[in-house]
Homo-oligomer: A and B are copies of this chain.
């Protein structure tokens, strides 16, 4: 018996066959047929399951359950409330996809699924209370409490990226101002860098094309001593420190793990981040929460979704 874990994003679907102990056997990545609508994406996911089974000589009947991580809010009874990147609202995904694939289906938010993956076989292994923060286009967060995914009473919690932590020069995609992800994400870093670059002259010896610059390049420029890049990275770390300290002041977890592209910067991020968090803690003498880097990278969503399905299917 194996499981299928699907990480369905607005751009890509990642689907994998996963063993009960969280090993990714095989996976398929395809561009999501987002524009063709909800039904087309469901059919695409079903075809991927069949292809995975065929490629790996697995009978579809031997797949115990399917877990799907959705980039949005989901209800405890299997409805996708809202997933803006997919254009889905109030979709009965568990019911609809269950009918199509004829397998037990379980859904949750994608960041929660990634946290579940890290809990089972990654940086949060053995942890009761932990948080995974993903620094990508936005700032995603998955919260584990008492060894289980926590998303609140109605499935719409753990949106740490939309915690307001100050006033910003641009609005969040959610319509509000001051969301953490507008200060601390790859998008936020690029926007702030360009914002300052437009105002000031860069140091003369480093020439960059700001129109195309990425967060990774800004991190590199900061390492090379570019003043604006340094300032941009410092600002991101300052606000990320506030966001993490807020989470510690409220949830006091054992560990907060950082994933996503920006976390690859390693010590460049983690050493000043630790200091920034410390400065914002209520009880500085008791900085008990460990800060670490996530382990599973792009596989976390697939593995976590499969593990979530496994756990819930056995209930």
Q: Verify B253–A153 contact, CB threshold 8 A.
A: yes
List CB contacts (< 8 Å) of A136-194 with chain B: 143, 145-146, 150-160, 162-167, 174-176, 178
With both beta carbons as reference points, the residue of chain B lying nearest to A247 in the complex is identified as: B250
Known contacts A73-B283, A82-B283; 12 further A-B pairs (Cβ under 8 A): A128-B153, A146-B146, A154-B252, A155-B252, A156-B252, A156-B286, A157-B249, A158-B250, A158-B252, A159-B250, A159-B283, A164-B246
Q: Are B157 and A251 in contact (CB under 8 A)?
A: yes
Is there contact, CB below 8 Å, between B285 and A246?
no
Return chain B residues, CB-CB under 8 Å to A289. 153
Assuming the contacts A252-B155, A279-B176, A283-B81, asked whether A246 and B288 have C-beta atoms less than 8 A apart, the reply is no
Alpha-carbon distance A175/B156, docked complex (angstroms) = 33
Name which residue of chain B comes closest to A164, CB basis: B242
Contact of A160 among B154, B248, B250, B284 (CB under 8 A): B250
Residue of B129, B151, B246 near A252 (CB, 8 A) is B151
Return A137 CB to nearest CB of chain B, in Å. 16
- Give 18 pairs: A residue, B residue, CB < 8 Å, sorted on A: A73-B283, A81-B286, A82-B286, A129-B152, A152-B253, A153-B253, A153-B254, A154-B286, A156-B252, A157-B250, A159-B249, A162-B249, A163-B163, A163-B250, A164-B246, A166-B178, A176-B279, A246-B246
Measured CB to CB, the residues of A under 8 A from B are 73, 81-82, 128-129, 143, 145-146, 150-160, 162-167, 174-176, 178, 242, 245-254, 279-280, 282-286, 288-289
A250 partner residues in chain B, CB cutoff 8 A = 143, 157-160, 163, 247, 250-251
A153 pairs with B288, CB closer than 8 A: yes
Q: Which residues of B contact A248 (CB under 8 A)?
A: 157
Contact partners of A279 in chain B: CB under 8 A: 176
Q: Whole-angstrom distance from the CB of A238 to the nearest CB of chain B? A: 11
For the complex formed, measure the closest distance between the CB of A237 and the CB atoms of chain B, giving whole angstroms. 14
Residues of chain B contacted by A245 (CB below 8 angstroms): 164
> In the complex, which residues of chain B have a beta carbon less than 8 angstroms from the beta carbon of A163?
163, 246, 249-250
| Nearest chain B CB to A255 CB, angstrom units | 9
Give bound CA distance, A227 to B249, whole Å: 35
CA distance A254 to B157 in the complex (A): 11
Nearest-Cβ distance from residue A38 to partner chain B, whole angstroms:
18
- Tell me which residues across on chain B come within 8 A of A153, comparing CB atoms: 128-129, 252-254, 288-289
Nearest residue in B to A177 (C-beta to C-beta)? B280
Contact at B165–A282, with CB atoms within 8 Å? no
A157 touches B82 (CB 8 A): no
By the criterion CB–CB under 8 Å, are B156 and A283 in contact? Answer: yes
Q: Which residues from B are CB-within-8-Å of A82?
A: 283, 285-286
Residues of B contacting A159 in the complex (Cβ-Cβ under 8 angstroms): 249-250, 282-283
List the B side residues contacting A155 at CB < 8 Å.
252
